[in-house]
Amino acid sequence: MSTGILTVDRLSKNFRGLAAIAEVSFAIQPRSITSIIGPNGAGKSTLFNLITGYVEPSAGEIHFHGRRITGLATNRIAELGIARAFQIARPFRDLSVHENVRIGALFGKAGARDVAATTGKSLELAGIGHLAQQPANALTVGQLRHLEVARAIATRGDLLLADEPCAGLNPTETAAMIDVLRRVRADGVTVVLVEHDMPSVMEISDRILVLDAGRLIADGAPAEVASNPQVIAAYLGSPEPEAA
């Protein structure tokens, strides 16, 4: 397995004997956009939870920038430079958009920081600079998604894990989110997203990983993955054999 900014080696997680993730291995290359897809219950969220330290693996290892991070606490992983944007945004609703993003800039990756500059840049990258003084509780669902991404990138991570950033968005909002993720990548951040919106996945991804029942069944470019028989069977089911 080639070396990447993030490497996952034979990672497994069992819950009471059920294999949620089973010997998954891959390497994420710097400044790429990688999508992780799969049917509901395939293990995508569990994989993100393992990488960000919310749960400990049953077996296997995770390395970030060549450093073993397996089993580290979530705050230590954030300090090393892994940021996460959650599917359900939970901002400080009584604070403004600017104040929410500023909190992200106060934490995250270890080292010197310019909180004001980071906050402003994150707002602009996420496309919500014009909403900076709005209270978070006044935002639409789509705007909250942008705020969640802004708070994550304000932590100055080298790797952004985005959990279904386009879920529930209309076509215009989805296109805006794709633009945001592209700007984040252009700014030097590696992006890995879990997403169900397949047109978005095909449009934005350099590479796609496919999980099914906790196992990695495909890994490749969008066109290659879309024509993979295992992937088609995982999403649509295998055809019934013809009757004699």
Q: Tell me, what amino acid is at 93?
A: R
Is the CB of residue 216 less than 8 Å from the CB of residue 210?
yes
The encoded tokens of residue 111 equal 């080292």
Q: Would the CA dihedral through 93, 94, 98, 104 be positive or negative?
A: negative
242 located within any domain: no
How high is the pLDDT of residue 166? 92
The encoded tokens of residue 137 equal 């509780």
19 located within any domain: yes
How high is the pLDDT of residue 239? 55
Instruction: Show the domain range for 86.
Output: 6-236
The encoded tokens of residue 194 equal 């879990």
105 located within any domain: yes
What total of structural domains would you count in the chain?
1
1 located within any domain: no
132 located within any domain: yes
How high is the pLDDT of residue 88? 87
Is the CB of residue 234 less than 8 Å from the CB of residue 216?
no
How high is the pLDDT of residue 236? 65
> Which residues of the chain fall short of a pLDDT of 70?
1-2, 236-244
- In order, the DSSP letters of 121-175 are HHHHHTT-GGGTTSBGGG--HHHHHHHHHHHHHTTT-SEEEEESTTTT--HHHHH
75 located within any domain: yes
122 located within any domain: yes
Is the CB of residue 184 less than 8 Å from the CB of residue 122?
no
241 located within any domain: no
Question: pTM of the entire structure?
Answer: 0.91
How high is the pLDDT of residue 244? 44
The enclosing domain of 66 has a CATH number of: 3.40.50.300
Is the CB of residue 190 less than 8 Å from the CB of residue 19?
no
